[in-house]
Amino acid sequence: MKILLTCVALVYGTAFANDASSARRLFDETSEQKSERLAWWMHDRFGMFIHFGLYAIPARGEWCKMTEPVSDEKYDEYFRLFNPDLLDARDWARRAKAAGMKYAVLTAKHHDGFCLWDSKFTDYKVTKTPFGRDVVREFVDAFRAEGLHVGFYYSLLDWHHPDFTIDMCHPGRPKMAKKWEFYGTSDKDFPTLNKNRDMAHYRQYMKDQIGELLTKYGKIDILWMDFTYPEPNGKTHLDWDSEGLLKLVRSLQPQVIVNNRMGLYDTADGWDFVTPEQFKVCEWPTVRGERVPWEACQTFSGSWGYHRDEMTWKSDAELIELLVHSVSKGGNLIMNVGPNARGEFDARAKTKLDVYADWMRVNGGSVYGCTQAPNRFKVPEGTLLTYDPNAQKLYIHLVSYPGKSLTVAFGDEISFARFLHDGSEIKFSKMQSPPENRLYSHGGEGKWQLSLPAIKPDIVIPVIEVVLKYAKLD
Ligand code: GLC
């Protein structure tokens, strides 16, 4: 056990602390126990998000009911028509696995309140639509069969539940409040709008549903709760009773890994990881000065739910870079797919998953079990570094291909270098100072050069694997 814990601490550079000194605690789990609980997830690094629901039919993103807004009558039509007849969760799972993803999180319920499982606490669920099948059940069975960990996304917001009080993120918000305008609007309409709504009932509803999800589908690895928005006329953790909810979660599935969006920010253990959304962090995120586990959540095109007309899909290189970027800062990436209203990943999503599949098949070694490189390895220009502390290997990702040679400052530590994709040797030598260098300095003096082919290998982002001097060769 001790050896395992030492390994976990080594792999992640520093065991992440919960900073017991300044934050209150809800549970008595130690920092080591938490590291152990999260070890598989931090090792695996790469997951698939699946946003699927009624909003696949309008195909304008999962927020359309609120942002446009779409009327209740119109949205009901989507419910009456929902029939994703081509849905094959095994196909989703096979594609996730091929892409190198090791876990998947499905929207069991999104903000519109529609449930993808046969909940006994509502009729607003998939089994009451023409489709009639329990998508959550098919999802967990299919992904487990492919050896992936499974998780549920559960929306704290609910635009359908009659007791969920209308707030600034609700389609029924006062007309004067423009979309996203959280501040400066009048509160006076909210009490009237909410006079027949009782959040206490809704809190119980959430507990009942989370109870179902965590007892009827076997071991659940991740719970992705979304989200808390304490702005004026928003909601805080007290509105959800996040503490009570989390205690329930931990009592039913102690091992489950939970994100931070229940809003228990003042606690040391009311969350397991933080969730930067659709942006690249500048450094490994910290909480109260300590590095914490984190996961970037990202989309192929900007939309989570299927968006037919969204054309700003990320390039192949951008997608690979997003993954490597997270790992190079000690984090994970969960990349989203929004299946269409027939239940399929559309052609664009399949193509982009293939980009990951092709790259990960040969380069996965620079992702799994890797983390941020120690500071002494100065990041060469145009590259991203990851580091495998167990194998003591460094991975240089050539995000911008440097041409015939790459200059690195840490040559003294290199014992061997090769391209990861084909295993071919890369020679390296200390930079010689040519006579003309008496005239000018180029900054590379005393550094090392790795000799590369002048033409970039046919790999979206080529990776150089560096075996460090003190490492055992495998
Ligand atoms: C946001 C959005 C939501 C999406 C989620 C994923 O909170 O409201 O639509 O599911 O982020 O990170």
Residue 350 lies in a domain: yes
Residues 412 and 300 in one domain: no
CA–CA gap between residue 374 and residue 404 (Å, rounded) = 26
Q: Is 450:426 a contact under the CB 8 Å cutoff?
A: yes
Please tell me if the CB atom of residue 11 comes closer than 6 angstroms to any atom of ligand 1. Answer: no
| Containing structural domain, residue 463 | 373-468
Residues 392 and 296 in one domain: no
Residue 474 lies in a domain: no
Residues 154 and 177 in one domain: yes
Helices (H), 263-363: 316-328, 347-363
Please tell me if the CB atom of residue 359 comes closer than 6 angstroms to any atom of ligand 1. Answer: no
**Residue segments in the chain with a per-residue pLDDT below the cut of 50:** 1-20, 177, 182-184
Residue 38 lies in a domain: yes
The 10 Å CB-count burial string (b at 16+, else e) for 221-245 is bbbbbbbbbeeebebebebbbbeeb
Residue 473 lies in a domain: no
We report the CATH number of the domain holding residue 158 as 3.20.20.80
Residues 404 and 330 in one domain: no
Angle, alpha carbons 461-421-329 (nearest 5°): 50
Query: What pLDDT is stored for residue 13 in this prediction?
Result: 37
Query: What pLDDT is stored for residue 8 in this prediction?
Result: 38
Quote the DSSP letter at residue 278.
Answer: S
Residues 285 and 430 in one domain: no
Please tell me if the CB atom of residue 41 comes closer than 6 angstroms to any atom of ligand 1. Answer: no
Please tell me if the CB atom of residue 358 comes closer than 6 angstroms to any atom of ligand 1. Answer: no
Residues 313 and 412 in one domain: no
Ligand 1, atom 10, lies closest to the CA of 304
**Length of the chain in terms of residues written:** 474
The 10 Å CB-count burial string (b at 16+, else e) for 52-61 is bbbbbbbbbb
Residues 182 and 280 in one domain: yes
Residues 263 and 394 in one domain: no
Please tell me if the CB atom of residue 220 comes closer than 6 angstroms to any atom of ligand 1. Answer: no
Strand ranges across the sheet with 414-419: 383-388, 393-398, 463-468, 414-419
Q: Number of structural domains, the chain?
A: 2
We report the CATH number of the domain holding residue 387 as 2.60.40.1180
Please tell me the number of Cα atoms within 13 Å of 257 on its side-chain side. Answer: 25
What one-character-per-residue DSSP string does 378-431 give? Answer: PPPTTEEEEEETTTTEEEEEESS--SSEEEES-GGGEEEEEETTT--B--EEEP
Residues 188 and 264 in one domain: yes
Distance from Cα 127 to the centre of ligand 1, integer Å:
24
Query: What pLDDT is stored for residue 14 in this prediction?
Result: 39
Please tell me if the CB atom of residue 227 comes closer than 6 angstroms to any atom of ligand 1. Answer: yes
Residue 312 lies in a domain: yes
- Count Cβ atoms within 10 A of the Cβ of residue 376 and give its class: 0-12 exposed, 13-18 middle, 19 or more buried: exposed
Residue closest to 115 by CA, chosen among 94, 136, 88, 93: 136
Residues 212 and 107 in one domain: yes
Query: What pLDDT is stored for residue 281 in this prediction?
Result: 98
Distance from Cα 6 to the centre of ligand 1, integer Å:
36
Residues 188 and 323 in one domain: yes
Please tell me if the CB atom of residue 62 comes closer than 6 angstroms to any atom of ligand 1. Answer: yes
Q: What 3-state class would DSSP assign to 272?
A: coil
Q: What number does the ligand 1 atom closest to the CA of 275 have?
A: 12
Out of 52, 62, 112, 304, give the residue to mutate to test ligand 1, the one with the largest number of ligand atoms within 8 Å of its CB.
Answer: 304
Residues 214 and 77 in one domain: yes
Residue 155 lies in a domain: yes
